[in-house]
Amino acid sequence: MKKVSISDIARKAGVSVSTVSFVMNDKAVKMRISQEVIRRVENIAKEMGYRPNQLARGLRTGKTRTIGLIVENISNAFYASLAKTIEDEAKKYDYKVVYCSTDNDEEKARELINMLSQRQVDGYIITPTLNLLDDIRRLQAENKPVVLVDRYFPPHDDIPYVLVDNYQGVTDGMDYLIGKGYRKIALITIEVTMAHMKDRLDAYYDALRRNRINLNEELVKLIPYGCVRETALQEIKELLAGKRADIDAVFFLTNYLGVLGIEAFKALRIRIPDDMAVLCFDDNDIFRLYTPTISVIRQPIAEIGQRAMLALIERLQHAGAESGPGNRNIKVPAELVPRESI
């Protein structure tokens, strides 16, 4: 089948090739082309199945109508849902999304930014790795809008971000556990220095101090990021088995550790919540389907994705501005969802 050209559209619409070009490249209004002609050209282009060459269009206009989305792991339920929301929101603004995963690897993250830059994406939504600040600064220097999602770089508040209020979310969870009478609360988290995980850990320590509960560091398990599943599971088992008498509740600070925790409880024949209560930061389908159901601090993924996309669109519309609506930093409240595990 012959590829439809703008000449074909011009011939059928009864207008010049330049008129079709102006319409296809969003310059019709500027060139004072009437709305009637614009609609006719657009309808005929759609009927004929015209597909513009986005790369060539980008070279002409400087815009490709594409957005680069870089997350930690697209196979993770949180990031998969986030990516779907951002893709759906981008479609409303006539943008396409190219997304990829860093696996929390700094070098891979840099390679992905370079790849997306070569594809001339118009803007970026990024879940950054630890030392990616300079690379993001370079994008800003090139007037490429960037919005961080799920993570941020304090105190660099000039880089806009959208994420859940991690500190308040863990605070709410700890207050709920303590309000239920639990005092020997173990914490299981990943050993990283990213600000969002530090916020969660700080909230745990602060809640204990505020409620005058003595800290037992032996009940805090920091599992190295990226360790193999079997190793992480074994470390969780060792904590639960070795300190069984000293624990009445366990707070997992990521959902995938919570899933491993369920496996560890089953292997050790620890009954939930009779022997230990369980709370996890971030939801997972398994937590709703497991018996007993697992209590969580739920992240509003759809809202995070929608607000991140809106923040990027605002920056795309104010390109080159030193300040503006796209510079807003947003922390979205988490939701405590009590279930049968507490």
Beta-strand pair 295-298/335-337? antiparallel
Supply φ then ψ for residue 158, to 5 degrees: -80, -10
Residue entry with tokens 């803007």? 123
Strand-pair partners of 161? 148
Count of H-run helices and E-run strands, the chain: 13, 12
Helical pair 6-13 and 35-47, crossing angle rounded to 10 deg = 120
Residue 71 CB neighbours (<10 A) = 21
- The Cα–Cα gap between 37 and 109 comes to 45
User: Which helix (DSSP H) or strand (DSSP E) does residue 295 occupy?
Assistant: strand 295-298
For residue 228, CA distances in Å to 97, 110, 260 come to: 31, 24, 12
3-class DSSP state for residue 249?
A: strand
Mean pLDDT of 182-195: 92
pLDDT at 17 over 90: no
The tens digit of pLDDT for each residue in 88-143 reads 999 998 899 999 999 989 999 999 999 999 889 999 999 999 899 999 999 999 99
- The Cα–Cα gap between 15 and 36 comes to 12
Beta-strand pair 96-101/146-149? unpaired
Domains and CATH numbers, the chain: 6-52 (1.10.260.40), 66-163+302-332 (3.40.50.2300), 166-298 (3.40.50.2300)
The tens digit of pLDDT for each residue in 43-62 reads 998 888 887 665 555 545 56
Query: What is the per-residue pLDDT for 23?
Result: 85
Of the CA atoms within 13 Å of residue 249, those in its CB half-sphere come to 23
Task: Say if CB 150 and CB 163 are below 8 A apart.
Answer: yes
Query: Which of 44 and 320 is assigned the larger pLDDT?
Result: 44
Among 26-40, 273-287, 316-330, name the one with the lowest average pLDDT: 316-330
